[in-house]
Structure 1
Amino acid sequence: MEREIVATVKKIVILTIFLIAAGFGVILLLSRRFISPITQLAATMEKTGGDYLDVKVDVKGHDELAILGERFNRMIERIKQANEELKRTHEKLVQSEKLASIGILAAGVAHEINNPLGGLFNCLHMLRQNIDNHEFRQRYLDFIKEGLEKIENIVNRLLYMARKDEHKTAVINVRDSVENVYSFVDYKAKEGRVSFVNEIENSLSIIIDPHDFQQVVLNLFINAIQSMEDGGSLKVRGYREDSKIKVEFSDTGSGIAHENLGRIFDPFFTTKPPGEGQGLGLWLTYEIIRSYDGKISVESEAGKGSTFTLTFPTGDPV
């Protein structure tokens, strides 16, 4: 009887060991067949985020997990394509806003060129009447040369601002740069009876791409002048405050309604009539300033004017 019991126990133990071994085998098989691919898919998904989309699931077989992996890969490809399209659209929008600014600059150039050009025509007229007088001829040829140099300088300044170079930072004098940009919109300010005051410290400098800073200043000038339909005053202050450099653009224009202040830097937001702006100028300004670890803020009251403040860190080039 005892032998039979012992024999039965041995059989149960052997069967149990066999079942345990078989169970481990099944678990191992399932792990290789299902769990491992799921783990791989989960790990791949975890890697995906932000701008990092260079991931791909290694698809094997034709089961449900393989189909899921293929769909994930296709989704990643579509996201990459959408991101690339968004970047291209962003670049086009930025360029279109810059081109609109260049149009205003070109009008300023035409206005500036008119004066020396009129002088050139007058010199040519006088030369034609006194062509045989050597001294007279030399004097007016010098006038013509001086006028051509003025025109060349104006055109070169426009080309410099319009040029689309790589992102290159440099130490720039804030006052000089602001004065240079204002020379292109001076005619527009005078037409609108807008006076200009420059209170930027003479030695104030920042590290930035000169073209980027000029684009920012131009956007703020245009915005301010357009807000003063009945004339007014535009004042720019630049100063150091602790470890920061601040540049303030203050106008006495129409101001911004309180409910719009939180949206003023949003793309396509504008309170101007249709056809007078895409609502990208202040957004582009915000994006440029942010790319240099700077900040732009606005204080405004409807009917009383606005002050836009640029804040730059002082430190190494970005």
Structure 2
Amino acid sequence: MEEVNQTSVTEFILDGLTKNPELQLPLFLIFLGVYLVTVVGNLGMIILIVLSSQLHTPMYYLLSSLSFIDCCQSTVITPKMLMNFVTEKNVISYPECMAQFYFFCVFAVAECHMLAVMAYDRYVAISNPLLYNVTMSYKVCLWMIAGAYGMGFISSTAYAIFMMRLLFCKANIIRHYFCDFFPLLELSCSSIFINEVLLWSLGSFNILIPAMTILSSYVFIIVSILHIQSTGGRRKAFSTCSSHILAVALFYGSTSFMYLQPSSVSSLGQSKLSSIFYTIVVPMLNPMIYSLRNKDVKVALKKIIQKIRFHSIWHDFH
């Protein structure tokens, strides 16, 4: 039996978002702006939480972890995409492609579970406020964060191992702007059955289980809120959850649309659009959602700005 040459494809060509040369520069500038806002927003959120003692609570530890995931997720995808806008040939080597695929999966899966952990945190805060500090202790919070990252690394390792076992013989044009699951499977000249089974099984677990956790948490939260007598108390309880609900809807809506439908149903344009949403747009929006709709974050930010102003005035005076 003749063996297929496994090393025939040493690099891939990324199709990118568009082949229209007139759109390359405007898209480069737009996505560069989005990336800068994402990095500044998420790193700013992490620094603010670290520096503000009033934000040293489980809710904000989880939020800083989400910001870290978003920053990393965007960094795995966007810089390479930006380079592709200004180069003639969008080449990515095989090892680079597999590394991008691996870390993209790590942070996408970790975000699914982190959003579920944050929903549970809100459930405990609203349903059992007196036991909140015991239930969501620093140790429990740390284990939950470790669990979210752990699921990301375990799932991604499984995906990457079976992806690297595939043979890529001749075709090397990836019909996407990064090394994603379905576009890579399209290029394989060996059986992809195990990869598809793995995606459906692990993908369903990593999307549906956290989604069910979030849904059940919010059912209990709504029941608890309805038992609150004062209108002000209800409004405050709803406001602490609204940011998280919006973040969940954006992320799960786009990932479910992309990965929980048969590859034959999904068109190339739809795939790219939903991918842009959860790999680039959502990481930019999350810090905005949590900062603009959160009174504690606004207060902490004002205090930090006042401190900086005071120190600069004091320095100028002396």
When the two structures are superposed, what TM-score results if normalisation uses the length of structure 1?
0.25
Q: Which has the higher contact order (CA 8 A, sep 6+)?
A: 2
Q: Which has the higher strand share?
A: 1
Q: Which has the higher helix share?
A: 2
When the two structures are superposed, what TM-score results if normalisation uses the length of structure 2?
0.25
